[in-house]
Amino acid sequence: MANLRGPHLHTPLTLLSTDRDALSRVDPAMIAPGDDARYLVTRAGSAALREDDEGTLHVSLERSDPRGGGTQPLVLLGVHEGLRVLAVEIPEPSPELDDPGRDLRDLRRVAERLTPRDADLALTAVAMGSWHRSMRHCPMCGALLEPEVGGWVLRCREDGSEHFPRTDAAVIMAVRDSRDRLLLARNANFRGRFHSVLAGFVEPGESLENAVAREVAEEVGLVVEEVEYVGSQPWPFPRSLMVGYRAWVPGAVEMTLQEDEIAEATWFSREELAAALAAEEIELPGNASLGRALIDDWYGGPAEV
């Protein structure tokens, strides 16, 4: 395993500003209707948002239950300014559930424009909505699952087993060589000019640091000698935790790309990256992503034209 070292990096989407009030989730009254209840609607990675006059986005909290008599689970997100905030994942469009004035936006595209409180609420709501959408039947016996504990537990009607929200750990790493160049790659599934740092899911029985070394070896054929943890952030698409690292490989070594995964990979100096961006040869991840934070960390500031 590579040696571990180093301080943290400030990462986006990490500021917790809502009291989740987790100990109160066992109280059914916390998800009951009431004047102090507000509802945040989500659907498949999108959340209901509103934009203020300055272009800042906020979650749109509705006063009435948006389920229209439906049985979608409610999830207690927490308490903010004396109000209980409940998430509701709605299904595909229907006249009963769709308010023409509701603005559902894909958080991957707009998360950086949210305030910390609103990002906290929206990201949690989207992740929990994804879990409830995919976990309707017991994986042990196939019976229906019933939500409990403010929507944070699903219990099987038949065998009584409990099921909890799943978070998939993934590592993302800024790989540098002995000349302090940064490796950027275009995934085979990425659109034309989009480049980012390497990333991959952690496998069972594997440490985070070993996952960094394995993913780099698999995707570009390089041997990682050192790694440095820099921070983590939620990435609920559908429900991941991104764990960020700086990683170092020895001097100039020929790369071997994983054909079905990596379309191209290139070493960049800071001057070369600036030139490539100015010429619109590559496109970088958005500012809300940990990948972009790692790139900017290496660059020494925002990597922009």
Which tens digit of pLDDT belongs to each residue from 135-152? 999 999 999 999 999 999
Note the pLDDT of residue 67.
Answer: 87
Note the pLDDT of residue 20.
Answer: 85
Note the pLDDT of residue 235.
Answer: 84
| Residue 302 C-alpha from the chain's centroid | 21
Note the pLDDT of residue 111.
Answer: 85
What is the average pLDDT value for the chain, to the nearest integer? 89
Note the pLDDT of residue 21.
Answer: 85
Hey, how many other C-beta atoms are within 10 angstroms of the C-beta on 231? 19
Taking only the tens place, the pLDDT of each residue in 246-271 is 999 987 678 999 988 999 999 999 99
Note the pLDDT of residue 96.
Answer: 54
| Confidence tier at 85 by pLDDT (50, 70, 90) | very high
Of residues 31, 243, 13, 220, the one with CA closest to residue 115:
13
Note the pLDDT of residue 97.
Answer: 57
Query: What domains can you pick out in the chain, each with its CATH number?
Result: 22-134 (3.90.79), 136-165 (no CATH), 167-299 (3.90.79.10)
Q: What is the pTM of this model?
A: 0.86
Assess whether pLDDT exceeds 60 at residue 56: yes
Assess whether pLDDT exceeds 70 at residue 49: yes
CA-to-CA distance for 145 and 161, rounded, in angstroms? Answer: 9
Note the pLDDT of residue 170.
Answer: 96
Note the pLDDT of residue 109.
Answer: 85
In order of 50, 151, 287, the CA distances from 247 in angstroms are 39, 39, 21
Cβ-count burial 85-124 (b if 16+ within 10 Å, e if not): bbbbbbeeeeeebbeeebebbebbebbebbeebbbbbbbb
Running DSSP on this structure, what letter comes out for residue 214?
H
Assess whether pLDDT exceeds 90 at residue 61: yes
Note the pLDDT of residue 68.
Answer: 79
| Confidence tier at 95 by pLDDT (50, 70, 90) | low
CA-to-CA distance for 121 and 221, rounded, in angstroms? Answer: 40
Q: What percent of the chain is predicted at pLDDT more than 90? A: 67
Note the pLDDT of residue 100.
Answer: 60
Note the pLDDT of residue 120.
Answer: 87
Average pLDDT over every residue of 152-168? 95
Note the pLDDT of residue 55.
Answer: 83
Assess whether pLDDT exceeds 90 at residue 98: no
Average pLDDT over every residue of 287-297? 92
Average pLDDT over every residue of 178-202? 92
Across 5-14, 99-108, 140-149, 276-285, least confident range? 5-14
Running DSSP on this structure, what letter comes out for residue 82?
T
Q: Which of 97-106, 217-226, 237-246, 281-290 has the highest mean pLDDT?
A: 217-226
Note the pLDDT of residue 69.
Answer: 77
CA-to-CA distance for 118 and 87, rounded, in angstroms? Answer: 13
Query: Is 114 or 4 the better-scoring residue by pLDDT?
Result: 114
